[in-house]
């Protein structure tokens, strides 16, 4: 088993709210522009397997979701630093699995590189992505 990146431990401490959040099922727990901003921050691609939505890839198209790095059942927050873009397949497969264990399962030898990427993405300021997301939503046909 490969050793997960040590910096994920520091990250996981900041992701904790200390309280359990309301159920996250359904889409109402996060504003659409914030969801889109996180997707944009992560390059419209699953951080674990790299899958992208239809029309953006020659690979099998997927549905994007948001994954809580520190699962809500362990006190993980709905804050942008605890959320990453994740395909529906990876999200379902991970369930409540610990992040380091999940990275081993999902990424194998790439676990360290992927965890570094996650740390890099979640450290980015979401503000410009939120602005772009709001502008994109405003341009949609009503």
49 binds Zn ion, rule: CB under 5 A: yes
Nearest CB to Zn ion, comparing residues 50 and 75? 50
Hey, which residues between 8 and 27 contact Zn ion (CB under 5 A)? none
Nearest CB to Zn ion, comparing residues 114 and 130? 114
Question: By CB under 5 A, which span of 10-18, 26-34, 82-90, 120-128 interacts with Zn ion?
Answer: 82-90
Which residues, at least 6 apart from 26, have a Cβ–Cβ distance to it below 8 Å?
A: none
Q: Minimum distance from CB of 42 to Zn ion (Å)? A: 11
State the binding string over 91-120 for Zn ion (x if CB under 5 A, else -).
------------------------------
Contact residues: Zn ion, CB under 5 A? 46, 48-49, 51, 87, 90
């Amino acid at each position: 088993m490969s050793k997960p990146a040590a910096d994920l431990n520091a990250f996981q401490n900041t992701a904790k709210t200390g309280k359990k959040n309301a159920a996250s099922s359904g889409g109402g727990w996060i504003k659409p522009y914030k969801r889109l901003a996180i997707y944009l921050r992560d390059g419209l691609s699953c951080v674990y397997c790299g899958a992208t939505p239809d029309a953006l890839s020659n690979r099998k198209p997927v549905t994007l979701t948001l994954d809580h790095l520190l699962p809500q059942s362990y006190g993980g927050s709905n804050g942008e630093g605890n959320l990453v873009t994740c395909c529906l397949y990876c999200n379902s497969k991970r369930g409540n699995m610990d992040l380091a264990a999940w990275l081993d399962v999902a990424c194998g030898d790439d676990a360290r590189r992927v965890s570094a990427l996650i740390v890099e993405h979640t450290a980015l300021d979401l503000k410009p992505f939120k602005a772009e997301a709001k502008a994109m939503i405003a341009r949609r046909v009503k």
